[in-house]
């Protein structure tokens, strides 16, 4: 950020210097024009007019004809205009290069910051708002730099030049012609106070519109499946109309403010004609170098002042977006490596929770309360519980997606908050509940966490995850390009690629958030067997409700409302009774019924869905 500020500082200084040269040349051309008028007037009325005042006493030789003198002045005006044109184009190029440089670097900075912000930031901000901050709001910063900062600097510099020359011509004429200027600043302040909150509301309404669009694009199958296209069109139309109405409200105020600001300087011209004309008649100022030049200066001054309306509107419009950008850039890094981080090149895999309490929001009830347990390297822990019990939350604390509010999470006896964050997460393989794939090839998706992996390593991981067979049946095998989010694969196929991606890292710790949830029953046993091979000599945490997985676990933790209510092996928990035994017996009964009745797994699923069994462990359909 500091480097960008310095680059902007020097680039802006260069533009300001060039703009000062352009102003000096413009004033020189205007002065020469006035001098030419005085020369012609003196030639026509030599007895009633005084001799023209030449700048710096550089009068032409006395034997020159008046035509030659006027021609020389005209040539000088043209030469100044030509050079000024070149410098003006150069100034525009430099300014556009500066603005583009700022946009590119700022967008990169925002994206970089988003990559390092904690999950808590993304929990608190909708995806539409985040996308707008990287795109539209960064453009608002560009507008602030281009349409406000640079324009204000240019305006102040121009007004200073024009005011100095007008005062040089006549002080009191300058005072009376600029008497309305303070009123312009007052009106601008009032306008800014009115429209700034409106622009902030406008950005929020635009976020809402983008969010509706993004959700419908991602959930198009759900919308069409329920035949709710018309309802969704109405929802988008309502969001779009709310944004449009807010913009119309703003534009109405701008449409009133701009003509008022443009009208007030016209009063100045009336004062100039009355008072300035009297000064010329009284012989107190010249016609050309006095009144005509002053009129040109006043017109330029009024034009610059008239830009206040545009600048004020641009300022309020861009400040809202700029604030949202810097809200991201100013966000503190909640999760980051400590200054003297402990390196973790090869973890053994011992994991312990010591009285861990965690809540996403301090004002709400915690999702986990006083969680304590210890797992030795190479052991498998199965986590069972109803939806909302805190299973996924517990897993998220191990790779430090969040830090606990109380207590500690230890790996190999060291608090995870002391490890280098990259080392920690490279030591942990993760398969989330919802598998996300990128718009890349199958091989690139599997090798996402290890881009330099060989094809042999990629294929080995795919075989362990029971994905190799279906991958080879794809049009280009491992080189098949996946569509957005892997939409051209089934849910089970996407999940198996995610498992392969985690296995490829060969991590000492595996976190599997219900890995068989998206796997069809026909391939479930194959996946579980393959995963059992992958779990060998690794510490594994698996959120599961399948009895076959629970039996393989060295420890089973049963969660309810963020607390561990049962723990032990499958055999121990079956002897002690309670929620675990009840859930396990239900699955055993289902399996026996299927065997006796010869029902397919699909038929059994339909039969279970139609039954109303009061099961406290299956609230929300989990466990």
Residue 453 belongs to what H/E stretch? none
Summarised one tens digit per residue, pLDDT across range 415-472 is 999 999 988 988 998 888 777 888 889 999 999 888 888 999 999 888 888 788 889 9
Tell which wins on pLDDT, 613 or 163: 163
Q: Are 429 and 503 in contact (CB under 8 A)?
A: yes
CA–CA separation, 550 vs 541, rounded Å?
11
Residue 428 forms beta bridges with which residues? 509
**Per-residue pLDDT at 519:** 58
**Per-residue pLDDT at 494:** 83
DSSP state for residue 401 in the 8-state scheme: S
**Per-residue pLDDT at 25:** 84
**Per-residue pLDDT at 617:** 35
Q: How confident is the model at residue 48 (pLDDT cuts 50, 70, 90)?
A: low
Summarised one tens digit per residue, pLDDT across range 204-255 is 888 888 888 877 877 776 777 777 788 888 888 998 899 889 888 888 888 8
Enumerate domains of the chain plus CATH numbers.
2-329 (1.20.1560.10), 349-427+544-623 (3.40.50.300)
CA–CA separation, 19 vs 141, rounded Å?
22
Does residue 606 have a pLDDT over 50? no
Q: Which of 146, 149, 135, 150 is nearest to 104 (CA)?
A: 135
- Long-range Cβ pairs for the range 17-21 (8 Å, 24+): 18/87, 18/90, 18/91, 18/94, 19/91, 19/153, 19/154, 19/157, 19/158, 20/157, 20/161, 21/87
Does residue 60 have a pLDDT over 80? no
Q: Which of 448, 460, 359, 459 is nearest to 403 (CA)?
A: 359
CA–CA separation, 467 vs 566, rounded Å?
35
CA–CA separation, 417 vs 404, rounded Å?
10
């Amino acid at each position: 950020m500091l480097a960008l500020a310095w680059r902007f500082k020097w680039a802006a200084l260069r533009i300001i210097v060039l703009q000062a040269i352009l102003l000096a040349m413009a004033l020189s051309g205007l002065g020469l024009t006035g001098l030419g008028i005085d020369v012609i007037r003196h030639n026509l009325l030599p007895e009633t007019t005084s001799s023209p005042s030449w700048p710096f006493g550089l009068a032409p030789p006395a034997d020159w004809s008046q035509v030659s003198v006027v021609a020389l002045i005209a040539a000088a005006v043209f030469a100044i205009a030509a050079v000024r044109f070149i410098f003006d184009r150069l100034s525009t190029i430099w300014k556009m290069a500066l603005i583009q440089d700022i946009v590119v670097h700022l967008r990169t900075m925002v994206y970089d910051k988003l990559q390092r912000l904690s999950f808590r930031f993304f929990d608190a901000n909708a995806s539409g708002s985040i996308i707008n901050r990287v795109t539209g709001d960064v453009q608002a910063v560009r507008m602030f730099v281009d349409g406000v900062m640079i324009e204000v600097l240019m305006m102040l510099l121009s007004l200073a030049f024009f005011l100095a020359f007008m005062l040089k011509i006549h002080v009191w004429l300058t005072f009376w012609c600029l008497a309305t200027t303070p009123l312009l600043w007052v009106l601008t302040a009032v306008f800014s106070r009115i429209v700034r909150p409106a622009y902030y509301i406008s950005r929020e309404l635009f976020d809402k519109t983008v969010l509706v669009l993004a959700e419908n694009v991602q959930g198009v199958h759900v919308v069409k499946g329920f035949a709710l296209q018309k309802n969704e069109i109405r929802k988008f139309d309502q969001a779009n109309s709310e944004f449009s109405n807010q913009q119309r409200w703003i534009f109405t105020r701008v449409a009133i403010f701009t003509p008022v600001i443009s009208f007030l300087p016209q009063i100045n011209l009336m004062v100039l004609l009355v008072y300035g004309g009297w000064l010329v008649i009284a012989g107190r100022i010249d016609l050309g170098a006095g009144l005509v030049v002053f009129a040109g200066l006043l017109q330029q001054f009024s034009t610059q002042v008239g830009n206040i309306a545009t600048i004020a509107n641009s300022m309020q419009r861009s400040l809202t977006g700029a604030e949202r950008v810097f809200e991201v850039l100013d966000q503190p890094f909640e999760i980051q490596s400590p200054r003297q981080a402990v390196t973790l090149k090869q973890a053994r895999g011992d994991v312990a929770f010591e009285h861990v309490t965690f809540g996403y929001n301090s004002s709400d009830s915690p999702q986990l309360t006083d969680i304590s347990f210890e797992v030795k390297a190479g052991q498998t822990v199965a986590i069972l519980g109803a939806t909302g019990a805190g299973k996924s939350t517990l897993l998220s604390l191990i790779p430090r997606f969040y830090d606990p509010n109380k207590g500690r999470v230890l790996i190999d006896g060291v608090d995870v908050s002391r490890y280098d964050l990259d080392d920690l997460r490279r030591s942990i393989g993760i398969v989330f509940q919802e598998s996300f794939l990128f718009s890349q090839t199958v091989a690139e998706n599997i090798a996402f966490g290890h881009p330099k992996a060989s094809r042999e390593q990629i294929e080995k991981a795919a075989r362990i995850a029971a994905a190799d067979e279906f991958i080879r049946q794809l049009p280009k095998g491992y080189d098949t390009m996946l569509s957005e989010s892997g939409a051209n694969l089934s849910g089970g196929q996407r999940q198996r690629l995610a498992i392969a991606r985690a296995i490829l890292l060969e991590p000492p710790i595996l976190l599997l958030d219900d890995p068989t949830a998206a796997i069809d029953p026909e391939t479930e046993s194959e996946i579980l067997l393959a995963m059992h091979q992958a779990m060998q000599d690794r510490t594994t945490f698996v959120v599961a409700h399948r009895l076959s997985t629970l039996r393989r676990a060295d420890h089973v933790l049963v969660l309810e409302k963020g607390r561990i209510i049962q723990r032990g092996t499958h055999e121990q928990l079956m002897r002690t009774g309670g929620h675990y035994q009840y859930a396990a017996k239900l699955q055993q009964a289902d399996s026996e019924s299927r065997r006796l009745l010869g029902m397919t797994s699909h038929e059994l699923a339909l039969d279970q869905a139609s039954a109303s069994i009061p099961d406290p462990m299956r609230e929300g359909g989990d466990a």
